[in-house]
Structure 1
Amino acid sequence: MCRKLPLERDGALRYLLPAILNPRYQLTNPNILLEDLPYTLSMVATITSQHAIERVKSNCSLSTIQYLTENKTSAQVSLTEGHKFDRDVELLIYYSEVHSPSVAVEMGMLDMKPDNLMGAPCAMLSFYPDIPEVEASKFCGEFVFLMDRSGSMDFPMSRERNSQLRIEAAKRRVKYTQETMEDAVERVKCLEADLGGTEILAPLCNIFKAPSIPGHPLKLFVFTDGEVSDTFSVIKEVQLNSNKHRCFSFGIGQGASTSLIKTIARVSGGTAEFITGKDRMQTKALGSLKFALQCAVENISLSWELPPGLTVKMLSPEQPAIIRGQRLITYVQLTGLMPQVESTGTVCIKHSLQGKSLENRVIFSLPPKANANFFIHRLAAKSLIQTKDMGLVKTSEEDKEDVMNISLQSGVLSSFTAFCAINKELNKPVQGPLDHRVIPTTGIDVTVSWPPHFGAWQGQVEQWVLGAAECGSESINSLELVSEYSGMTNVAPIEETKEADASTKESNVQNEHKAFGDNVVVQLIALQNANGSWNLDEDLTKILGSTLKDIKAANPVKHEDPSAWATVLAVVWLHAIGKDLKCEWELLERKAVAWLHDHAVS
């Protein structure tokens, strides 16, 4: 199988080998203990690249990386012996000089005609621009959240014991204003997975029919766990409206439709995320929000300089803009006479960023080397198929014929083709009924019981887009927030003893907060006001590990509004105690700092 690996926030490429390909609604396999699984998985991954490979990380135990070349462009890693295939295997691959554009060229198949996709040489251009992060206050936008409330959203996130329900992971949204924030608790109580099947086409159409707000580009966030009845109609609708919005999609749980989630993001220039197992919704949702608040590289154009007799045929659709953290992958076919002696080609990438015109030039060697796997050709074929294949009903007869020809030539699947099992000893298709094998898996307890203190913590609201950095109501027309559900009661005040010295008290505070996990950070976030400040009250002082009397006494400007002092302490606390979750509060910290600039005395 040949596929393009997704790019992570930190520049790593992510490879995922799923333990279960498509669990969907229920599993019938027997559940046994992990140590009793009758099978193990061995895997060796060989990595080759034009860039040096810095390191490889995994959620599973790996062997030490072995470099196969001196320049570290080829390496191998393997799972340690005896790995139980009880979870998805994830590899994160980090490269050096990732922002340098590159071109890889590959010879075509010798037994194919040169006018076929697989017969002529192909090139892949990779461009991952280093776009500086800008302050969110410079961005204006309208934010709309589309939430799946189908019945399957009431299932657990994963097969792990005590995994939270999908709807609980997702039900964190009410419109963000000061007034509606006060009503957030009651509104999220009404959000349940009770609307039958996953049908999002109608609400999508309603969203796109709404009048645009001048100066506020639309950012659409879609959260779902499953398939829709007509995936291609949904994709087509998003694609038709891609000129006026970006779609940021989220697949919740291990059975989310990769085709739907990835494609609606791709055709609209947004990003796709999958939340499985113990992944935090806040981290990934905030990451996408940060993307939505960033400027973009725009007006991208390519010009190719090749030896005489050689021309370029574009195979990828135009991508006029990419935002920070995205990359441009373009496939082209080289047609004509390939030079017989060593030569070079050049591609010039012109683009604009924040009003400035820029360009990058990449020189590559010709003629290309042979590759028996034809990776670039098959990736190009997949890109072509994705642009033409809209399903049985939506694809024109002409495009359908093109898709089938490309699929049969390259061995890349489409909606009109399928693989056939071949008995290699007989060189004949496998026939007859399929053998059913029962594969034991590790167990999961899907029984859900609410704790008796449910009402005490149900209304905690995590303002993960609380103000979107320094954005005020002037720059964001419509913004929404998120509420957090956690099985912990409100954190109790930390007892102080007069005998304890300062260092001991600090250690006790940190240990207490660590015991409560990230819940205490969520509670502090929930106390922030819509304008970015915190109130100096008992709820805040409990989290800070002190008393209201002592904190008021320490206020350096006692005659002024104590909110400034409270806000300073809250921000300092986040840096000291909540630093491991910085990606989840850095936007609200920026808003707090902006509020302090306007309201704090010297």
Structure 2
Amino acid sequence: MMVNCGLLTDRKESVPLKSNEVQLEVKDHVATVVSTLNYENKEDKPLEAVFVFPLPGDAAVCHFSAQIGQTHIVAEVKEKQQALEEYDDALSSGQQAFLLEESDQSPDIFSLSVGSLPPGESASIRLEYVTELAVQADDGLRFCLPTVLNPRYHPRGNKCFRVHMTSVPASLVPYSLSFSARVSSPRPISKVESNCSLEPLEYLNADQTQATVGRELMAAGHKFDRDVELLIYYKDAHQPTAVVEAGQASAKPGSLMGDPVVMVSLYPEFPQDVMSSLASRGEFVFLMDRSGSMNYTRISSARDTLLLLMKSLPMGCYFNIYSFGSRFEHIFPTSVEYSEKTMEEALKEVEKMEANLGGTEILLPLKHIYAQPCIPKQFRQVKTEMVPNIVLTFGIGAGASSALINGMAKEGGGHAQFITGTDRMQPKVRTICLFALQPAVEDISVSWDLPKGVSSTILSPPITAMFQGQRSLIYAQLTGQNYFEEKVKKLRTEREFVFIKIFKLHLQLSLSSVFRLTVHMLAARTVIRSLESEQRTHRGQQDEEVKKKKVVELSVQSGVSSSFTALIAVNKDVGKAVQGPLVRRNIPTPFYGSDSQICLYFSFYVTGPVVTHEAASPPPRKDPLLQLVSLQKASGCWLLDADLAAALGKASEEVKKAKPASVNSEVWASILALIWLHGFKMDAKEEWELLTLKAASWIKAQNGNKHNLQGTVVLTSVY
């Protein structure tokens, strides 16, 4: 009987990948990630190990090297087809070669090929990337280490890679994972939280601006059933930060890598008088996923969330609800004015929706939505040749495509939220909804007051609007080499007389070299992604080739990966060729149930959750909160009837009898509803806060302020 030893795949094949060691270094809101993958060939024949894995969609892969014994090989960035040919040629001649390539279809999926690994030999692959940290609803910075790579939906005929992906249940992944993080910031670190069991936060200095966490995750029970998520909280989170990074000494002056680059992070907290009123206009388009892959629990949660959102919309706005799969549908031919009639009609249709529209073709409904004419005096009014639509997105579950979620939000000038593990959808949707209902700061201009002889070139897409709680980054290239050369020679950390004026905000910047060209690489990635996006949207072949050439040139110059390049390393020091035919070993990646599904939230001005539905009919609502919310009228009030009494847990006569004679019935009902929410559902305040603001505004409009005290005084007689 044959006995298999070591780590095995589900096909009883030895797995050459043994471990993945991840080191995270966070500097303020920028992260550098170093991943070391350790391989060992325990078979009696040479192997080619192929590993398909996810990375954050906005990451800039900037280093790839291999260590085989005493030999260290650093990869070069080359045009993708050229790199593929060099890799194949190397394997054909018996040389060891290593190839890292980004998927043509999605920038958050990579393929790592380790070729000609002889029997008994080990290799360590070092992969390094930099990324920006997204800001969450509670001011935390979110870092996500993707460990789950679930099958993604691709239109028929579309292929991600030339390689085959192998998957196993998340609990059976045959390699280990260790993770450690070091955090440093100019501001004190309040706390660090994780969805995995990490060691307690350890501060490294007295002012708490440096700290570490870490753990051997497999030893701590991590089963690759979820991505590793880290939430980092700083004091004075809304304080703007900026840094000017010196250019690379070996790079050509005037090039992006040769000139200094400035990065400004803005996370403004607008004055209360600006934020005191909610928007009373706007067009809200909810795009809902009705493909056949969404589970009942998520659909039920999304339905409840949409109920809360629909009740929170302001009178005078317009809305519509689209749903999609292989085809798309819409409730109304065009967006309609929000009223009791249209709200109820829409909610009834949502309740009947099933997950019966096939695949997940989102492009067609988006094209249809954006082709609709603007509604006068609503937020979609045309101010320039471009329509200022705001796109807000959700990523739900482990394995959601960060490239899609973050990319669409960034392209739409909006915001992205991720809902993982046991997170409740409603609080995060409430944050997204606040973006839509609050006034947006528009007509943003950036002016630079620079020293004589220094000029700036903005590298980031223009900021068209900003919301409370939204973080924006600005990258700019500074030219004036002589000025900066003199300053660098004098003192790299000296305060420079460089000012940026934004929202009447003056920031004094420091010339710094401590980021190791991190800012330059992030700026290069920003330009590369923008060029790639333009290349995909241009129809002319000549334009496409021009954009592709620019991407390849910048990718090679900066060392940052792109969809048109790959990183290739060939070990040319091998004394003799590796003998024997290569055996392919696809490293298995974890999958975890249906958590790979993605819910999105879109709109012209705002977006709504992708509300999904299974074929089975939902059970009747039993949640008292949702029962009460469902009774609220579009205007914001409640009716004093038996349904309200039942939701409050009281008899109808008991509620009506307690009403003071001088108080209007609807005002009294609305006061009771607000008191009940504040008295019994404070733990869910984030879910109902918006609709109660609308109710309070309605009461005030009815001249009902004088009745609030009366309602409170007789509270004991009702509850």
Residue in structure 1 matched with residue 235 of structure 2 by the alignment? 96
Count of matched residue pairs: 511
What residue number does 1:119 align with?
258
Match of 2:565 in 1: 417
- Counterpart of 1:364, as a letter, is L
Equivalent position SS for 1:43: strand
The yes-or-no answer on 1:11 pairing with 2:160 is no
Q: Tell me by how many angstroms 1:382 deviates.
A: 0.9
Counterpart selection for 1:110 from 249, 263, 276: 249
Tell me what 1:363 maps to.
508
Q: Offset of 1:523 from its aligned partner?
A: 1.6
Report the counterpart of residue 198 of structure 1 in structure 2.
360
Which position in structure 1 is the counterpart of 2:267?
A: 128
Q: How much has 1:371 moved relative to structure 2?
A: 4.0
Describe the shift of the 1:530–1:312 C-alpha distance in structure 2 as closer, same or farther (beyond 3 A): closer
Residues 573, 60 of structure 1: alpha-carbon distance in 2 compared, 3 angstrom cutoff: farther
Q: Structure 1 550/268 Cα, relative in aligned 2: closer, same or farther at 3 Å?
A: same
In 2, Cα distance between the equivalents of 1:415 and 1:489? 48
- Residue number among 643, 652, 676 corresponding to 1:539 in the alignment: 643
Q: Alpha carbons of 1:438 and 1:479: their partners in 2 closer, same or farther (altered >3 Å)?
A: closer
**Of 286, 290, 294, the match for 2:434:** 290
**Partner residue, 2:466:** 322
**Aligned pair in 2 of structure 1 residues 559, 320: CA closer, same or farther (>3 Å)?**
closer
Tell me, in whole angstroms, the C-alpha distance in 1 between the residues paired with 2:187 and 2:357.
Answer: 48
Query: Are 1:534 and 1:570, in contact at CA under 8 Å, matched by a contact in 2?
Result: yes
Cα gap change, 1:305 to 1:182, in 2 (>3 Å): closer
SS at structure 2 position matched to 1:312: strand
Encode CA deviations 1:419-448: one digit per residue, 9 max, x unaligned.
Answer: 3466699699999554124467666799xx
Partner of 1:380: 523
Call closer, same or farther: CA 1:480–1:125 in 2, change over 3 Å. closer
Residue 403 of structure 2 is aligned with which of 244, 259, 263? Answer: 259
Q: 1:326 to 1:137 in 2, by over 3 A?
A: closer
Structure 1: unaligned runs, 5 residues or longer: 220-239, 352-357, 447-463, 465-475, 492-518
CA separation of 1:193 and 1:426: change in aligned 2, threshold 3 A: farther
Return the TM-score normalized by structure 1.
0.73
Letter in 2 for 1:418: A
1:550 aligns with 2:643: no
Comparing 135-144 with 424-433, which one deviates more in the overlay?
424-433
Spell out, residue by residue over 1:374-427, the C-alpha distance to the aligned partner (whole angstroms, 9 max, x if none): 211111111111221125673633322221121123232222113346669969
Q: Would the aligned equivalents of 2:148 and 2:225 in 1 still touch at CA under 8 Å?
A: no
Unaligned regions of 5+ residues in structure 2, if any?
A: 1-128, 155-164, 308-320, 322-330, 708-719
User: Aligned partners of 1:274, 1:214: CA distance in 2, in Å?
Assistant: 33
- What are the within-5 Å matches in structure 2 for residues 44-123 of structure 1? 44-79=180-215, 82-84=220-222, 85-123=224-262
Structure 1 residues 317-374: Cα deviation after superposition (integer angstroms, max 9, x where no partner): 32243222222311122331222324533444445xxxxxx512122234x32544x2
Structure 2 residue 571 is the aligned partner of structure 1 residue 435: no
**Distance change >3 Å, CA 561–CA 361, structure 1 → 2:** closer
> Aligned partner of 2:675: which letter?
V
Check conservation: 1:143, 1:218, Cα contact below 8 A. no
Quickly say closer, same or farther: Cα 1:312–1:482, change in 2 above 3 A.
closer
Residues 314 and 331 in structure 1, CA contact (< 8 A), matched pair in contact too: yes
Structure-2 change in CA distance of 1:331 and 1:155 (3 Å): same
> Using a 3 Å threshold, how does the CA distance of structure 1 residues 201 and 433 change in structure 2: closer, same or farther?
same
Question: Are residues 1:207 and 2:369 paired?
Answer: yes
TM, length-normalised to structure 2: 0.62
Task: Give 1:341's aligned residue.
Answer: 490
Distance 2:304 2:629 in 1: 17
Distance 1:203 1:438, change over 3 A: closer
Tell whether 2:632 aligns with 1:528. yes
| C-alpha distance in structure 2 between counterparts of 1:444 and 1:125, whole Å | 39
* Greater fraction of residues in strand: 2
CA distance 1:392–1:595, shift in 2 (3 Å): closer
Q: Is the 8 A contact 1:60 1:90 kept in 2?
A: yes
Distance 1:107 1:571 in 2: 56
Letter of the structure 1 residue corresponding to residue 180 of structure 2: V
Residues 20-71 of structure 1 deviation map (CA, whole Å, 9 limit, x = unaligned): 1343269974448x6x876653211112223332211222233222223443
Task: Output the CA distance in 1 between the equivalents of 2:401 and 2:591.
Answer: 22
Change (3 A) 1:218 1:440: closer
**Structure 1 residues 41 and 524 mapped into 2: Cα distance closer, same or farther (>3 Å)?**
farther
Q: Percent identity?
A: 39
Considering Cα pairs closer than 8 Å and 6+ residues apart, tell me whether 1 or 2 has the greater RCO. 2
Change (3 A) 1:427 1:406: farther
Pairing 1:592–2:695 present: yes
Quote the Cα distance in structure 1 between the aligned partners of 2:510 and 2:595: 57
Residue by residue, what CA displacement relative to the aligned partner does 1:88-136 show, whole Å, maximum 9, x if unpaired?
2211111122322222122333332233322333221112221146245
Indicate how the Cα distance of structure 1 residues 360 and 397 shifts in structure 2: closer, same or farther if over 3 A, else same: same
Among 450, 456, 469, the alignment partner of 1:312 is: 456
Tell whether the 8 Å contact from 2:636 to 2:695 is kept in structure 1 after alignment: yes
How far apart, CA to CA, are the structure 2 residues paired with 1:531 and 1:487?
Answer: 27
Please tell me whether residue 408 in structure 1 is matched to residue 551 in structure 2.
no
What residue is the counterpart of 1:505 in the other structure? none
